[in-house]
Amino acid sequence: MTRLSVNINKIATLRNARGANNPDVLKTAMDCERFGAQGITVHPRPDERHIRYNDIIQLNDVVTTEFNIEGYPDERYMKIIRDVKPAQATLVPDPPGVLTSNAGWDTVRHQEFLKKIIHEIKSVGVRVSVFVDPSVKMIEGAAKAGSNRIELYTEPYASQYHNNKEQAIAPYKEAAAVAHALGLGLNAGHDLDLHNLRFLKQSIPLLDEVSIGHALICDALYLGLENTIQLYLRELR
């Protein structure tokens, strides 16, 4: 079964807009798990505009499913990983100040850097996933660097889905086959929603995990959080 990890960054964004603690990030994470989510994802930024370091420390005490921490592996991020030791560290190549992740790693150009970082993270018992475009060369580079998994950057798939879904999914099917052949686990994320998720899952049955935040939280405004999580889980079954 493909696991659903809910990214709760947007809950923290809403809280931070007014200060105080409403909505409560910890309660939301626990409720997501209670409603069926099999993981919680956060992506702390250097300016702490949504998830904060203290949130991560507290979340680590209450998350009972898989805790996934995304981010660019600078010293700040590496300290978080060493302190928290989440189930998974997802390495994303976004520089400070970027609005959202918009590309995968060039695992060839950054091979030695990634190899060093991945070795350090794995040495503290944390699974590593590398965020990549659906490129055979980039996936091979992730495997060579020692990653346990890759996370396919799915914004191009989501953008093309309504025009030609077969064309949109084609590079991802090839990428998934290569990843499986190399012994890599397979995650996916970015712009996945209730419209395009089922076709992705049907086309890539060996998908281990999807990480979904923005669309899921937007849907929850209309449908309620519990109902929304159940709807996303249904698309993955």
Instruction: Look up residue 229 and give its two tokens.
Output: 């999580």
> What CATH number has the domain bearing residue 165?
3.20.20.70
Catalytic hit among 33, 50, 66, 190? 190
Domain residues for the domain of 91 are: 3-236
At residue 103, does pLDDT exceed 80? Answer: yes
Count: domains in the chain: 1
How do residues 150-203 score in pLDDT, each as one tens digit?
999 999 999 999 999 999 999 999 999 999 999 999 999 999 999 999 999 999
Catalytic hit among 43, 50, 151, 209? 43
Closest CA to 29 of 5, 52, 48, 3: 5
Catalytic hit among 70, 151, 209, 235? 70
Please tell me whether residue 115 adopts helix, strand or coil conformation. helix
Predicted local distance difference test score (pLDDT) of residue 94: 83
Please confirm, yes or no, whether 155 is among the known catalytic residues.
no
Residue 205 burial (C-beta neighbours within 10 Å; 0-12, 13-18, 19+): exposed
Please confirm, yes or no, whether 190 is among the known catalytic residues.
yes
At residue 137, does pLDDT exceed 80? Answer: yes
How do residues 29-38 score in pLDDT, each as one tens digit?
999 999 999 9
Closest CA to 80 of 90, 91, 88, 69: 69
| pLDDT, average across residues 37-46 | 96
Please confirm, yes or no, whether 43 is among the known catalytic residues.
yes
Please tell me whether residue 109 adopts helix, strand or coil conformation. coil
C-alpha 99/C-alpha 61 separation (Å) is 28
Q: Between the CA of residue 147 and those of 10, 47, 68, 88, 199, what are the distances in Å?
A: 28, 27, 15, 11, 27
Q: What is the pTM of this model?
A: 0.95
